[in-house]
A = this chain, B = another copy of it.
């Protein structure tokens, strides 16, 4: 039966939100359309009233997640304390243990290149992430801001992925701690020591 337009739009958003969470938790291949729709509280058939295909949903999820994440960064980095806190939060146990609500790059990084439908949205996200990091973080010198932003992004993503990959809690915590310290060392405050 037909539903009010506002209700339909709300359902569309809930599908997108649940799918984004599930994809980050389990990867694109291990999340099925029936599973997404069930977690939204609908049957699988109506999925195709909202999205053209699973590939289309994946693309929308990455685009949507990227936009949300980038706007969140702007808020987090509005103060110097916010910047160090951002690094600590990125490399936290909470982020490690909750990929479903975490960073897209870390959650889907090593598999995204196999999904051309999602890759261009992810590219825009990565480029945006680096841009924001280089313009908003207090790097040692403005000349090297972009260079340092790229290195920091690689460290954050690599650090979190390794901390998640590892089966050994002590090693995982060591990785989070050391990478966080290394990244913070790239910020201007510490550069003065050298």
Report which A residues bind B (CB closer than 8 A): 26-27, 29-30, 105-114, 119-120, 122-123, 126-127, 147, 150-151, 153-159, 161-162, 164-168, 171, 174-175, 178-179, 181-182, 194
Contacts and interface: CB of A to CB of B under 8 A. Distances in A.
The 9 closest A-B pairs by CB, nearest first: A158-B158, A154-B158, A123-B167, A157-B158, A154-B159, A29-B29, A110-B110, A151-B182, A109-B161
Q: How many copies does the complex hold?
A: 2
22 contacts: A26-B114, A27-B27, A27-B29, A27-B111, A27-B114, A30-B114, A105-B161, A109-B109, A109-B110, A109-B158, A110-B165, A127-B166, A127-B171, A147-B182, A151-B178, A151-B179, A154-B154, A154-B159, A154-B182, A158-B159, A158-B161, A161-B161
A113 B159 contact: no
Nearest to A107: B110
Given A154-B162, A161-B157, A178-B150, A171 B26 contact: no
